[in-house]
Amino acid sequence: MTSAATSTPQPATLVWFRQDLRVQDNPALAAAVTRGRPVIPVYILDDAGEGRWPMGGASRWWLHHSLAALDQALRSRGSRLVLARGESGAVLRDLIKATGADAVYWNRRYEPAVIARDKGLKAGLDVEALSFNSALLFEPHTIRNKAGAPFQVFTPFWKHCLTLAVEEPVKLRGGDLPSPMSWPRSLELGALGLLPKIPWDGGFAAAAAPGEAGAMSRLKQFTAGAMDDYADRRNRPDVLGTSALSAHLHFGDIGPRQIWAAVKATTKGSGVFPPNRGAQVFLSEVGWREFAHHLLFHFPHTPEAPLRMDFAAFPWVQDSVKLRAWQQGRTGYPIVDAGMRQLWATGWMHNRVRMIVASFLVKHLRISWQAGADWFWDTLVDADLASNTLGWQWTAGCGADAAPYFRIFNPILQGLKFDPEGDYVRRWVPELARLPAEFIHQPWEAPMDVLASAGVTLGRTYPHPLVDHGEARDAALAALATIRRAK
């Protein structure tokens, strides 16, 4: 693919897009523009470069649409996105050769396999190779506790971070980007094969709009609305009380500095920052994302192994039938099933429900957190190695600052507390929709006539509970005792 010359014949700068699929607040792109040479934006699909964690199916759906949005944004500035597939180093070297580029700029990532690959690349490319921070407020290598060690508890971590300055988002001025005399060959987006072959993504598009514009509009809507009540409503899956920015943040449709600045803008110069408790709690959740990256960077073995080594000997159960029932939302516990079905249908699940379903898997079923993390990896549009690892190890009690394993969520009480009218269950488990609120989280307690008039036959229209809560709790505590004894 070639096009007419639009500017000078100088050697170009390749801007290698990765998880920073936006034009604004993109330091690598801004630096390339400032350099004053033609800019060639590139995305490379490199599964092998992700090590043990090539992107899952739902993430690929998001990526497809986010790349389309980025290409469109670049085209509106007289540029375009060059797409390639293969080993990143080889593709970059080919592109350097084909275009005569004399520099490659990119924004940093923090997954262990990616860090190793990028380090090798930086040393091995024969042109200027510069990397920048676009993904975090506080990069992990810059943060240490007083003893010079990584933090392992969130509160002191975040307290320390809040003593540091947050940089302003990097602005890209308007107008066309400087383009090369001719464009290198690019794959068509469809040729990357990111969309599922057997479509299971029908509900994804209704739930989200991947890309920079979608992210900014979501942020605007959130800061003008739900943010003020975030502290009270963020645990309620039956209302839209959270930002739903996680996949945008993962793919870099938006960056955390932009979120910080948008929250700051809501203070309208009052000088009070954060402006209210909702904003404060929201920013601290963005802080959990920072903490997750801090942990992944300093403890790179944790996607596969527990941070607390005593948990390596936990007697996990291998049970593919129960695992399947959990994955498909057929456990007989309505709040668990609602969450798993929301995940399958939309690629996203509310945080409170993520905690409930994860706890159910690792405690009620005693199936390993790694099996749960694998399923989330494939089905979440926001699957993120740092946050997924933290979430699962937190729930299983084997990570940093984790909920103790012996604290076992009761899925019935969790449902009654956080979905009090049962609206969330009604939406995702429609076969229970006609049950009254008092029974919707425990249909087996409903009298026969109530079940009958709601059209529910347990064991036929909706499953009996896969395990008894009390018995499962005792078995989980007994399993925990075995690793305590072994210490």
CB of 8 to ligand FAD, least distance (A): 41
Under the binding rule (CB under 6 A), the answer on residue 384 touching ligand FAD is yes
Under the binding rule (CB under 6 A), the answer on residue 243 touching ligand FAD is yes
Q: Which residues of 37-60 are buried (b: 16+ CB within 10 A; e: fewer)?
A: bbbbbbbbbbeebbbebebbbbbb
Out of 285, 344, 410, 431, which one is annotated catalytic?
285
CB of 294 to ligand FAD, least distance (A): 11
CB of 342 to ligand FAD, least distance (A): 11
Flag whether 230 is marked binding.
yes
Please state the φ and ψ torsions of residue 291, each to the nearest 5 degrees. -60, -40
Token couple for 288: 């959990």
Closest of 436, 435, 445, 376 to residue 412, by C-alpha: 445
Flag whether 409 is marked binding.
no
Positions 281 through 300 that interact with ligand FAD (CB under 6 A): 285-286, 288-289, 292
- Cross-strand bridge partners of residue 40: 14
Residue nearest to ligand FAD (CB): 391
375 is a catalytic site residue: no
CB of 353 to ligand FAD, least distance (A): 9
Closest of 140, 118, 395, 150 to residue 293, by C-alpha: 140
Under the binding rule (CB under 6 A), the answer on residue 152 touching ligand FAD is no
145 is a catalytic site residue: no
Which residue number, 112 or 178, has a Cβ lying nearer to ligand FAD?
A: 112
Instruction: Compute the Cα dihedral for 355, 360, 362, 363 and give only its sign.
Output: positive
Please state the φ and ψ torsions of residue 136, each to the nearest 5 degrees. -130, 155
Q: Which stretch binds ligand FAD (CB under 6 A): 82-90, 122-130, 246-254, 477-485?
A: 246-254
Q: Which of 170, 355, 454, 480 binds ligand FAD (CB under 6 A)?
A: 355
Task: Give the full edge-to-edge strand order of the sheet including 39-45.
Answer: 82-85, 39-45, 13-17, 103-107, 128-132
Q: How far apart are CA 333 and CA 441, in angstroms?
A: 7
Under the binding rule (CB under 6 A), the answer on residue 201 touching ligand FAD is no
Write the Ramachandran bin of 162: left for phi over 0, alpha for psi from -120 to 50, otherwise beta.
alpha
Which residue number, 32 or 244, has a Cβ lying nearer to ligand FAD?
A: 244
Flag whether 382 is marked binding.
yes
Flag whether 386 is marked binding.
no
Under the binding rule (CB under 6 A), the answer on residue 391 touching ligand FAD is yes
Closest of 355, 435, 428 to residue 394, by C-alpha: 355
Flag whether 102 is marked binding.
no
Which residue number, 63 or 380, has a Cβ lying nearer to ligand FAD?
A: 380
Helix (H) or strand (E) holding 13: strand 13-17
Flag whether 437 is marked binding.
no
Under the binding rule (CB under 6 A), the answer on residue 426 touching ligand FAD is no
Flag whether 453 is marked binding.
no
Q: Which stretch binds ligand FAD (CB under 6 A): 296-304, 375-383, 459-467, 470-478?
A: 375-383
3-class DSSP state for residue 306?
coil
Out of 316, 344, 410, 431, which one is annotated catalytic?
316
Closest of 127, 99, 128, 131 to residue 118, by C-alpha: 131
How far is C-alpha 365 from the geometric centre of its chain's CA atoms?
25
**Residues of the binding site:** 230, 242-246, 282, 382-384
Q: Which residues are catalytic?
A: 285, 288, 316, 351, 369, 392
The residue ranges that bind ligand FAD (CB under 6 A) are 234, 242-246, 249-250, 285-286, 288-289, 292, 351, 354-355, 358, 376, 380, 382-384, 387-388, 390-392, 395
